[in-house]
Structure 1
Amino acid sequence: MAVLRHSVSVLALDQERVREAVAALCDLAESSRAHGEVILTGDGQTVADIRLAGGRHLRPGARYELMEPGATDRVTLRLREWRRSTAIAVEQLMSAPEMSARLAVRLASPDRPRLLEAEGRFRGAEGSGRMRRGSGKARLDLAAWWAAAGLPPGAPPVARAPATVRVRHLLGEARLYLRPRRDGDGRWLVEAAVTLRGRWLLRPVAAVALLPAGGMLRRGFRSGVERAAEGWNEAVAELLALSPKELRAELTRQATEGRTQEPRDAPQDAQGPRDAEEG
């Protein structure tokens, strides 16, 4: 088994801001209506690149198709649950010549977001065999995340990671654990740790194969974590710069235009990633 660790300093996002963002998304959806297959916003604008393919709009069982000009893949969304007091659940199905995939996402109590879960499967084209199949699960306990991020400096890290991801393949399994800590000045220090291991009889083979690739894995892992942190910081900086009213207007613009504008220049980040620690 190989264990990789790396920590990065990122912009913090408080509970109230997350509630505002989720509420804005839900309000935008609930103010929309269907006119045949066309989805219209509350003020009558057409929502781009999506059509109602079956069922009643925003009712469990509703099916939507995402349409992107020139794309060869087919993406379908199925609404499983829609109750802001309990849960919102959506299933995405993607079919392309080289791969098909299924992803289910569920947010518990959207009015006071507390738990986000996702699970999915993918498989290669017909005849590609079991080597091109895999599955994964992710879980983010929001209450536990903010509790961990609010611990005073010097406190021991939480034993159970608030955010976890598990990916399985015939050859092996990867598990990712994320733990936040307060880093001062509106930031979190997030430790990302991943374990890699082979499965069943392949465990000894995988262990031997990982030895010469250790350095490359560590560099790739650090680079991936840092890129994710950069993307997070850019997105959160843009979110924090918007008032609730501006956020709703921006979400409406994106829904009706079908694509976001060119990203604004992100503020220069004075604190970069922390030194990596591998084990």
Structure 2
Amino acid sequence: MARFAHTVAVAALDRGWFEEAAGALVDLLDASREGPGGTVVLADGRAVEGLRLLKGRHLRPGARYGEVPAAREGAGKAGTAAEAADGPAALVSGAGDSPVTPSSVVLRAWRPSHSVEAESLVVEDGMSLKAGLRLSEPRRPRAMELSLAGHQPGGGSLYRFSGRGKADLAAWWAAVDRLPTAPPAARPPASGRAVHRLAKARLTLTPRPAEDGSWRITVALSVRGRWLLRPVGAVVLFFARGPLERGLREAAESAAAEWNRALAELTPLHGEALRAEIADALTDPDGSAAL
């Protein structure tokens, strides 16, 4: 087995703001309704940008959502009217003038006080990918679970893989609330596993507070071969150790830079101002309405 680790420094996320923002987002969506042509409309009457109900009842188990397809060149208002008349079912079946949506999200559960579950299926570059998400207590998120499975139709077992991950947010907040001099958490609050016919891997994230108020997150990756291929895998990992270690370091540093950049752009709003900001982001992400 080979193990690699790298530690990055990232800006700390305020727990109170995060939970308030999550609650505001859930409340906005919970108060939304289905509009004309399957659009998703907030309580103030504005439609969520790029989102359409394709099948089922809004916010009910089995509801299928997808992006609003771009209007065909030259279709104009007539095309838009025909699309609305055909309804969401035309997008699923491919009937009428509407193109078939290439990917969609199916809602499995919507219980804002308990959990939200959704899954999606995407076919890209010959690979079929199925992803699942479960969020516990979404108004004040306590845990997030992810699943991923992929295969290439007709490609055999070498073209199949699966993975699962979980982030215990309660344990994460407890880990970053320690004193900087305290030892790190005994169990990583965020971890994931990936399995392939030839190998399996485990990734963990362990945070701890720094003296300057930021977080230091240790990213650890362990890889090992499976079954009779373990000796072969050990040889491969021996020669690939350098590239794997460099790849982990570069990926961790890139993710940390993106995180820091995103947090630097956030405006620490609260209350109705935060709710309005989230509603604007849902309905007008480019800010074109303000121009």
Q: Partner residue of 1:148?
A: 175
For residue 45 of structure 2, give the secondary structure of its aligned residue in structure 1: coil
The separation in 1 between residues aligned to 2:254 and 2:6, in whole angstroms, is: 12
Name which one, 1 or 2, has greater alpha-carbon Rg.
2
Q: 1:72 to 1:159 in 2, by over 3 A?
A: farther
Shift of 1:119: 1.0
- Code of the residue aligned with 1:84 in structure 2: it is P
- Code of the residue aligned with 1:59 in structure 2: it is R
Q: Which moved more, 1:70-79 or 1:81-90?
A: 70-79
Higher relative contact order, chain-length normalized (CA < 8 Å, sep 6+): 1
- Code of the residue aligned with 2:196 in structure 1: it is H
- Code of the residue aligned with 1:192 in structure 2: it is V
The separation in 1 between residues aligned to 2:50 and 2:267, in whole angstroms, is: 27
Which sections of structure 2, spanning at least 5 residues, go unmatched? 73-98
Contact 2:66–2:101 (Cα < 8 Å) also in 1? no
The separation in 2 between residues aligned to 1:8 and 1:234, in whole angstroms, is: 14
Q: Partner residue of 1:2?
A: 2
- Which residue among 230, 235, 240 is the counterpart of 1:213? 240
Matches within 5 A, 1:156-175: 156-175=183-202
Q: 1:250 to 1:98 in 2, by over 3 A?
A: farther
Q: Partner residue of 2:139?
A: 111
For residue 136 of structure 1, give the secondary structure of its aligned residue in structure 2: strand
Matches within 5 A, 1:1-279: 1-35=1-35, 36-67=37-68, 69=70, 74-96=102-124, 98-124=126-152, 126-257=153-284, 260=286
The separation in 1 between residues aligned to 2:162 and 2:19, in whole angstroms, is: 30
Shift of 1:76: 1.4
Q: Which moved more, 1:49-58 or 1:137-146?
A: 49-58
The separation in 2 between residues aligned to 1:6 and 1:244, in whole angstroms, is: 38
Shift of 1:145: 0.8
Shift of 1:218: 1.1
- Code of the residue aligned with 2:208 in structure 1: it is R
Render the CA deviation track for 1:198-224: whole Å, top value 9, x for unaligned. 111111111101112211111111000
Q: What's the TM-score, normalizing by structure 2? A: 0.82
Shift of 1:56: 1.2
Render the CA deviation track for 1:25-76: whole Å, top value 9, x for unaligned. 1122123210241222222222232221222111222111234549997211
The separation in 2 between residues aligned to 1:206 and 1:24, in whole angstroms, is: 48
Contact 1:239–1:247 (Cα < 8 Å) also in 2? no
Shift of 1:186: 2.9
Contact 1:60–1:80 (Cα < 8 Å) also in 2? yes
- Superposed CA RMSD in Å reads 2.2
Q: 1:246 to 1:201 in 2, by over 3 A?
A: farther
For residue 232 of structure 2, give the secondary structure of its aligned residue in structure 1: helix
Q: Which moved more, 1:67-76 or 1:206-215?
A: 67-76
The separation in 1 between residues aligned to 2:134 and 2:56, in whole angstroms, is: 20
Q: What's the TM-score, normalizing by structure 1? A: 0.85
The separation in 2 between residues aligned to 1:213 and 1:43, in whole angstroms, is: 55
Which sections of structure 1, spanning at least 5 residues, go unmatched? 262-279
